[in-house]
């Protein structure tokens, strides 16, 4: 199919950004209003006008995390291309870009489209393999419509290379070149070439293909992260050796190809082992390389999986001496608040939030806050509280009913839950208010587009 004369893609999302009672968590009796008018309403997250459950972002923690990771990368001579799939929020994309991110990463061209048209993205990685006619056509149209847009995606097989080359040939003269990063993989892992010989052969194939341009290397190390210092160091040492050896072999045969004034790209995941990844992204080379961390979860961090992994990394980061002693690291910025619906037996309360509202793929949420019915401020949740299970709309809050030291919730109380793995909480909400202060005043919001 020839897409050289396809119609312009419509803008996303419609403007202005509108909030209203069709959104889960929005006050159900309030009239719709533009996002820019939200702060003037004077609402508080635990106020009577806000329905439960409610996912929210803490402004101070959000700003801290964005600045912290940007500074972390810059101190080590690297750049950020945060993974947009974590939040799919143009408002958060713009905050990351305004803080100095090189660009954004996405999993597919549909996500890229949101980033380009609504988030102002002009440099991007598609951290995945492109194959489909529809996706390739949309990518070509975005490149034509958007001056200065640079997009590189991943390649990991001769079959994919042949499909891309055939698609390019059908476009005719003037079709934009497809920039590709050669993706390395690991045995039993996700996508990526498994061995050096096959990777070098694929690099040669891309170099010889008209309309395709090999502009660097990429890998995803996250599936091997264990949160054990010695094992994680060994895991990343292996990745670094493989990446640098392949890079040197490709350079020896002049297999990389760049437009004038551009730089080669080397990228890794970096959400879990971002400190150990850094060495792999600083190769010794005769070319100019830009190391790109694709970390996405840092923007809100969490109270589960990533907290555990980053707690292990914290002593390593401190030992580098690049930050001030005692400087706080990443902070949990994403919370989901819900009501106690029922206390049907000792040691059990049913909360009004479940799998439709909260991540559960990487562990149960953690009770972090408690506000008795009618109070607008909250205190910490008792240490003995835990979420034992979840259904679609319910969470099972349990505690030791024989321990008199553990406070007991009452029907109507509000409980704040910290999540594990932010990606699969964001995709359950179309909007999230941003709060500040001890009374969680709502001062802004973000919209998501999954």
Instruction: Report the distance separating Cα 138 and Cα 53, nearest Å.
Output: 37
What's the pTM value of the predicted model, to 2 decimals?
0.94
Q: What is residue 219's three-state secondary structure?
A: strand
> Are 94 and 122 contacting, i.e. CB atoms less than 8 angstroms apart?
no
Query: What residues pair up with 33 in beta bridges, in sequence order?
Result: 19
**Residue 185: exposure state from Cβ atoms within 10 A (0-12, 13-18, ≥19):** middle
Task: Mark 134-155 as b/e (b = at least 16 C-beta within 10 Å).
Answer: ebbbbbbbbbbeeeebbbbbbb
Q: What are the φ/ψ torsions at residue 26 (nearest 5 degrees)?
A: -85, 145
> Are 446 and 91 contacting, i.e. CB atoms less than 8 angstroms apart?
yes
> Are 220 and 128 contacting, i.e. CB atoms less than 8 angstroms apart?
no
Does residue 73 have a cis bond before it (omega within 30 degrees)?
no
Q: What is residue 265's three-state secondary structure?
A: strand
Angle (CA) 252-255-257 rounded to 5° is 130
Instruction: Report the distance separating Cα 146 and Cα 142, nearest Å.
Output: 6
End-to-end CA distance of the chain: 28
Element (H, E) at 257: none
Residue 202, Cβ neighbours under 10 Å: how many? Answer: 22
Q: Which residues contact 5 (CB under 8 A, 6 or more apart)?
A: none
> Are 337 and 56 contacting, i.e. CB atoms less than 8 angstroms apart?
yes
Q: What is residue 90's three-state secondary structure?
A: helix
In this structure, what token pair is assigned to residue 51? Answer: 């329905």
* Among the listed residues 222, 219, 151, 131, the one whose alpha carbon sits nearest the alpha carbon of residue 182: 219
Q: What is residue 133's three-state secondary structure?
A: helix
| CA atoms 33, 39, 42, 43: torsion sign | positive
Angle (CA) 161-164-169 rounded to 5° is 125
pLDDT score recorded for residue 6: 47
Q: What is residue 197's three-state secondary structure?
A: helix
Per-residue confidence in pLDDT tens, the chain, 450 aa: 344 444 566 665 555 689 999 999 999 999 999 999 999 999 999 999 999 999 999 999 999 999 999 999 999 999 999 999 999 999 999 999 999 999 999 999 999 999 999 999 999 999 999 999 999 999 999 999 999 999 999 999 999 999 999 999 999 888 889 999 999 999 999 999 999 999 999 999 999 999 999 999 999 998 899 999 999 999 999 999 999 999 999 999 999 998 887 899 999 998 889 999 999 999 988 888 999 999 999 999 999 999 999 999 999 999 998 877 778 899 999 999 999 999 999 999 999 999 999 999 999 999 999 999 999 999 999 999 999 999 999 999 999 999 999 999 999 999 999 999 999 999 999 999 999 999 999 999 999 999
Element (H, E) at 343: strand 334-345
Instruction: Report the distance separating Cα 104 and Cα 135, nearest Å.
Output: 18
Query: What residues pair up with 253 in beta bridges, in sequence order?
Result: none
pLDDT score recorded for residue 197: 96
Angle (CA) 435-441-443 rounded to 5° is 60
Element (H, E) at 449: none
Element (H, E) at 97: helix 90-98
- Name the E strands within 134-251: 150-155, 178-184, 212-219
């Amino acid at each position: 199919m020839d897409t050289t004369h396809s119609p312009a893609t419509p803008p996303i999302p419609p403007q202005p950004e509108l909030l209203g009672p069709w959104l889960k968590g929005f006050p159900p009796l309030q009239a719709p209003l533009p996002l820019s008018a939200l702060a003037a309403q004077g609402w508080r997250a635990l106020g009577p006008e806000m329905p439960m459950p409610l996912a929210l972002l803490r402004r101070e923690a959000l700003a801290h995390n964005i600045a912290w990771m940007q500074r972390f990368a810059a101190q080590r001579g690297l750049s950020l291309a945060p993974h947009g799939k974590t939040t799919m929020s143009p408002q958060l994309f713009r905050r990351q870009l305004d803080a100095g991110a090189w660009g954004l990463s996405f999993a597919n061209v549909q996500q890229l489209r949101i980033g380009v048209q609504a988030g102002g993205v002009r440099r991007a990685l598609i951290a995945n393999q492109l194959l489909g006619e529809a996706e390739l056509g949309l990518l070509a149209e975005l490149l034509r419509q958007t001056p200065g847009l640079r997009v590189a995606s991943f390649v990991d097989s001769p079959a994919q290379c042949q499909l891309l080359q055939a698609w390019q040939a059908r476009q005719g003269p003037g079709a934009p070149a497809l920039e590709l990063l050669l993706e390395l993989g690991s045995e039993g892992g996700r996508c990526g070439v498994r061995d050096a010989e096959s990777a070098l052969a694929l690099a040669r194939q891309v170099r010889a293909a008209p309309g395709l341009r090999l502009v660097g290397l990429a890998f995803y190390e996250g599936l091997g992260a264990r949160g054990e210092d010695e094992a994680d160091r060994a895991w990343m040492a292996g990745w670094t050796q493989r990446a640098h050896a392949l890079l040197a072999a490709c350079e020896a045969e002049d297999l990389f190809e760049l437009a004038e004034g551009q730089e080669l790209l080397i990228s890794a995941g970096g959400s879990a082992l971002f400190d150990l990844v850094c060495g792999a992204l600083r190769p010794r080379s005769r070319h100019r390389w830009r190391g790109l961390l694709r970390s996405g979860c840092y923007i809100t961090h969490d109270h589960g999986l990533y907290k555990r992994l980053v707690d292990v990394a914290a002593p390593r980061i401190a030992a580098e001496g690049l930050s001030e002693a005692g400087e706080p690291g990443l902070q949990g910025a994403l919370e989901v608040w819900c009501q106690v619906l029922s206390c049907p037996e000792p040691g059990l309360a049913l909360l009004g939030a479940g799998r439709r509202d909260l991540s559960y793929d990487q562990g149960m949420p953690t009770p972090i806050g408690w506000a008795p019915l009618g109070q607008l401020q909250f205190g910490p949740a008792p240490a003995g509280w835990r979420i034992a299970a979840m259904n679609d709309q319910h969470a099972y809050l349990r505690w030791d009913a024989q321990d008199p030291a553990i406070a007991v919730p009452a029907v109507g109380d509000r409980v704040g839950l910290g999540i594990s793995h932010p990606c699969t909480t964001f995709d359950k909400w179309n909007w999230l208010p941003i709060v500040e202060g001890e009374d969680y005043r709502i001062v802004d919001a973000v919209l998501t587009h999954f």
